[in-house]
Structure 1
């Protein structure tokens, strides 16, 4: 296993990070089996574990907390905050001081730990001033509850804004960014990754298997089973009759040929590709089963040379997306009607 420094924090993390989104009711509900998978990853040299409070409504954090008993000091533990957690009301989520102060305490309890190594803001919140968010995160560092903090799915311009606000106000700054990145979604190469390099941010990439399209399970000309797993929850993302899915399948066929030439599987090629970019610190692997973890770990032994990377560039040009990754930032004025329409009471009478 290779190790790299995380965003100038001095913390050394494995080049592959264990993502735990699939542990709990959203994926693998068997706590004992999930704990065994976590232990297997640690035994193979992974010392970086990533979760989030909203994964299976806190259940993932609970599983991770149980798994790390007796091994906590050897693990760099990351979690996230932003999405609503239980109950109803307008103030049970977001990036405000009010919510983060409460959410971090609940995460610490579920994780059975006194500190979080990397606390990440799961998504931008355009209702909250970034100075407010950086201020409370700085306080949490000073209180010893977190060691460092980062962002997830932030656009490059908001990363730059946060950097300058931190400098101007004398606050701690984001040390990492966690974006989606894979063979079919290379859009972040255009701005997010270069920005991270210039600002010295560590980068944890997620979704290396492109929401399942890079597992080899979905192939052109083969009937797609839309009744199981992720396909059952979101069939429109897998239906081959939809143009964007057909485009993915076209590229997948060529990538399978390339993987075969290398004597590797498509998932191994996909994982190795994500780790090959110089801006990427660690690639998040999100297995649901032990077999899936074993397959992904094989990609850790693969290094792609320039000839292979050139072949990939011909299939999916650098900085482009075959599809828009799930969860990737979209311009707020385009997605929030409140930011592009005047309130009814502000309109002139007809």
Structure 2
């Protein structure tokens, strides 16, 4: 008999090569605060936080730049009475003072000043998981890893992770850390969903090889996989770069393509067939991908959170997974397609049947 449920929110998982226990769904708090015109006010944010924790969730993700610091401020107040039971993750890299070259980036100065500011807003003495938010292509990897290690040794950070970076830099970072006895990355935060599968070329295989836990962001493709958009809706001609709406954000980053909307339609068909919401189907598919530990769900209301949590209550059939894999498939490109060809395998193996 196949399993009837995928997991429970209290079926905790280890994050990468560590003993850190986290829930199979992470609560993302980028929606905490209305500073960006599409988030939740303080009262609704508190309800979302309380519901997640009351259900047994323990993994919460934020960043110093989210809603101009409001996300961390709210979270610091909400978690005050139960800090120790929670795994709090925050990030640094985004510039927080326009015009100041050292108020952003991956370097040690920004890492330290960002951490100290986050600790104050969160009203805590340490961060459980500190993420490098966005790779800046400027800071030497040795400087980053040594600075992270200093924070761990000082007790201000317990574990470290990296987000939105090339696979080869993550590999280089952890190799250097291993050789020099420094703290390695245990988590990889990347955009991963049915619309964005190019991470399967190098990032997710690298994470599996190095035992780095994958924590996907935007698991619902910016809301596209919930079915809220369709091909008949007109595209907005003018996008406000200062305060874009969610639809404008998706449009700017090319989310509302015919291909993506077709994938979303197939998700909706399966959802209708099995009596689930499209969001639940998309999350269930992602949770069954190799290396994925805890997708980040960014619920704006408790209704959204209730719906998202129910993705754990069932298991998509192998047929449905295969269908979604097929409609959302990508070309792996070189060298992957080349190396997987029968001709190249024969050249290497000489016609022998060899299994790993």
What TM-score results when the alignment is normalised by the length of structure 2? 0.84
Q: In structure 2, do the counterparts of structure 1 residues 223 and 302 end up closer, same or farther at CA, with 3 Å as the change threshold?
A: farther
**Partner of residue 36, structure 1:** 47
Q: How far did residue 238 of structure 1 move? A: 7.4
Distance 1:115 1:236, change over 3 A: closer
> Is 1:307 aligned to 2:316, yes or no?
no
Aligned positions of 1:227-306 closer than 5 A: 229-232=245-248, 235-236=251-252, 245-306=257-318
8 Å contact kept, 2:226–2:264:
no
How many positions carry a matched residue from both structures? Answer: 317
**Equivalent of 1:9 in 10, 15, 18:** 18
The separation in 1 between residues aligned to 2:284 and 2:180, in whole angstroms, is: 39
1:211-267, CA deviations, whole angstroms, 9 ceiling, x for partnerless residues? 12111111233557899941245644579xxxx612211222222112211221111
Instruction: Report which stretch shifted further, 204-213 or 159-168.
Output: 159-168
- Structure 2 counterpart of 1:168: 179
Secondary structure at the residue paired with 1:84?
coil
CA shift for structure 1 position 52: 0.3
Matches within 5 A, 1:100-119: 100-119=111-130
Whole-angstrom distance in 1 between the partners of 2:93 and 2:253: 25
Give structure 1 stretches of 5+ with no counterpart.
322-350
Of 197, 203, 216, which aligns to 1:186? 197
Secondary structure, counterpart of 2:257 in structure 1: helix
Instruction: Check 1:234–1:280 CA distance in 2 against 1; reply closer, same or farther (3 A cut).
Output: closer
What is the match of residue 354 of structure 2? Answer: none
Partners of 1:23 and 1:59 within 8 A in 2:
yes
Please state how far the C-alpha of 1:142 moved relative to its aligned partner.
Answer: 0.5
Counterpart secondary structure, 2:295 = strand
* d(CA) in 2 for partners of 1:30, 1:231: 20
Q: Distance in 2 between matches of 1:269 and 1:288?
A: 19
Instruction: State the 1:270 CA deviation.
Output: 0.8
Measured at CA, do residues 233 and 187 of structure 1 come closer, stay the same or move farther in structure 2, by a change above 3 Å?
closer
Q: Are the equivalent residues in 1 in contact too, given 2:222–2:250 (CA < 8 A)? A: no
SS at match of 1:149: strand
1:215 equivalent in alignment to 2:231: no
Residues 40 and 301 in structure 2, CA contact (< 8 A), matched pair in contact too: no
2:32 to 20, 23, 47: 23
2:70 aligns with: 59
Distance 1:234 1:167 in 2: 39
Query: Is contact 2:129-2:160 (8 Å) kept?
Result: yes
Aligned-residue CA RMSD (Å) = 2.1
DSSP 3-state at the match of 1:269: helix
TM-score (norm 1): 0.85
8 A Cα contact 1:189 1:318, kept in partner = no
Please give the secondary structure, in 2, of the residue aligned with 1:218.
coil
Q: Please give the per-residue CA displacement for 1:260-286, whole angstroms capped at 9, x wherever unaligned.
A: 112211111011111111301101000
The alpha carbon displacement at 1:314 in A equals 1.6
Moved more, 220-229 or 163-172: 220-229
2:150: which partner in 1? 139
| C-alpha distance in 2 between matches for 1:22 and 1:53 | 13
Query: Given the alignment, which residue of 306, 311, 317 partners 2:329?
Result: 317
* Residue of structure 2 equivalent to 1:344: none
